[in-house]
Amino acid sequence: MSILSKFWPGALALCLALPAGAQATDKVRVGVIGPFTGPAATSGIAMKRAFEFTAKQVNDAGGVAFKGRRVPIELLFEDSQSRPDVGLSAAQKLLTRDNVDVLLAEMLHSSVALAIMELAPAHNKVFMSGQPVAIEIAERIERDPQKYRNFWKHDFNSDASSYTLKETVRLLVQQKKLVPRNKTVAFVIEDSDFARANVEYATRYLKQDGWTVLATETVPLAHTDFYPQISKLRAQAPDLLYSIFTSANSGIALVKQIREQDIRAVHIATYYPTLAEFTKGAGKNAEGLVLIPFLFDPKYNAAHKAFAEKIGAYVGTTVSMDHAFGACAAEVLFDAIHRAQDVAPEALNKAFLATDYQCAVGHWVFDPKSHSPKVGAGYLTLPAAQVQDGVIRAIWPPEVPGSVAFRRQD
């Protein structure tokens, strides 16, 4: 259900007379920080376009309710360049010089969001992150709810993807689609908080099932020469390989070099297989790759297909998970502002706590302790998928639309 169909038809009921003494405004200014240049620019730009699309929908319908009036959303973007120091400077500019009403404190990178969230206690404004998944964000909020009372985390926590990994591996072992010789796993990841957090929980969950970690190979962002790491993999012969990158070029290079060197481990990957550039660039080298989480499937999921058709003409490119999550972040934020009819933290925080919002990729309800979305049946579901005959197909859980059986590539 879109932002317009969910609550705009009843918007006129909210447009009451402006209360005496209330301060009027002619717009709500939302600052948005993301990686619009640098190694993750593709994702940042996709989310930016999705934010613009959603704001246009809202503004074309009359804007958000604000203290008895209807006002438009104005977006102010700043580039983080995937760097915490640059993101922090961008946040300070938006909060002070631009005086935004609400801050979307980094669209993609957990490291940038973690740096910016430390500004929240000094500013009487609500902050929200976009796709950062590091559980440390939620843990900080739980440890000190007063300090971080104005910070909200839009995306699931890093342990959620690892749960999908654990359950998928369990299923493959039970079905004898994965027959491990020694139950060993190796990680090849980028040097980022996002990747490290995922590995931390993946290690914890896999060890519970008797798996042993042989190695964790960490490379710089946008790295493309994996022959040294692959040489080690050949010697170690892990049963399972888990890779995590936010750069499509890193993923393209890795799967190509793995295919060249005939590495036989079951390969599971996070994030980069969802990028359109990866699908195009990897080609047959991606065949058999398992990806988690698989959150956007416009081919076999009717709701995702409808969203892709709706936004496709506006963005002018292949619609990706980044577009979908960007739109959902914008919808959840604008919905909260609309219901609060205010940007003051007291009112807006109450609106976030009361969020019950269905967007294209899931159902958003926030946990009151961690300010993070709930994950599981009825909320956000994080499926696993596999590239089969050049098409990404869901393989876990079985009830996901379009789900098929895992196919071992020998």
pLDDT digits (tens, 9 = 90+) for 365-390: 999 999 999 998 889 989 999 999 99
Task: Quote the pLDDT of residue 233.
Answer: 94
**DSSP-assigned states of every residue in 282-344:** HGGGGTT-EEE-----TTT-HHHHHHHHHHHHHH-S---HHHHHHHHHHHHHHHHHHHHTS-S
Among residues of the chain, what percentage have pLDDT more than 70? 94
| pTM for the model | 0.84
pLDDT, tens only, 63-90? 999 999 999 999 999 999 999 999 999 9
Q: Please check whether residue 211 is in contact with residue 170, taking contact to mean a CB–CB distance below 8 angstroms.
A: no
Enumerate the H helices of 104-226 as residue ranges: 110-116, 135-143, 158-174, 193-208
The strand pair at 212-219 and 184-190 is best described as: parallel
Backbone angles phi, psi at 189, to 5 degrees: -140, 160
* pLDDT of 296 above 70: yes
Partner residues linked to 32 by β-bridges: 77, 104
231 CB contacts (<8 Å, ≥6 apart)? none
3-class DSSP state of 29: strand
